[in-house]
Amino acid sequence: DDDDDDDDGEISYTRSKFHFVDLAGSERARRTMATGQRLTEGININKGLLVLGNVISALGDPKKVGKTHVPYRDSKLTRLLRGSLGGNHRTLMVACVSPSSSNMAESINTLRYSNRARNIQNRAIVNVDPTTRLVGELRTRVKDLAAELLRVRAVLSENGEEAIKTSGPFSDEALNALAAGGETSISSSST
């Protein structure tokens, strides 16, 4: 959480989440000659990448968007990355490929995979608590009304007419503070 002091002295909170995920690579059991626990890990990596590929296919194809089920719940990885995949997050994907000709097939698959992911369109917006938004709108409204009242008083005094009450909670000093976006304490007593 970051604390920022606004101009009006209130504290606002900004929260962010960062997900750093290393997707490793697809494990080819024959090529890696893995056995035992390493083979099981490779199988689980491939399952997660397959589900992630299905989610990316469902979200990245313009013909399928909104018409097909997106299988977020099929793996822990896709549940974790749900906001990053077509949600309300900013997303950066880094694809690592090998310049070696022996890894050409895997490099091409990685590039195809990342190209499909690139087609996913996220709409990142700042989520604001409704109460905080309402307080901000009301403060802006009070500021505008105070400035307008000061203008009306100035016009009335130029025309030689008696201005509205200029002391107490609606004194020129208090209105100037409100019009500048600051706060003023309003007392119920009149002078």
- Which pLDDT tens digit goes with each residue over 9-45? 566 677 777 878 777 666 677 777 788 888 888 888 8
- pLDDT for 2 beyond 50: no
- pLDDT for 46 beyond 60: yes
Query: Which pLDDT band, with edges at 50, 70 and 90, does 69 fall under?
Result: confident
Task: Specify the pTM.
Answer: 0.55
Query: Which pLDDT band, with edges at 50, 70 and 90, does 1 fall under?
Result: very low
**Residue-by-residue DSSP string for 82-151:** TTTTTSSS-----------GGGHHHHHHHHHHHHHHHT----------HHHHHHHHHHHHHHHHHHHHHH
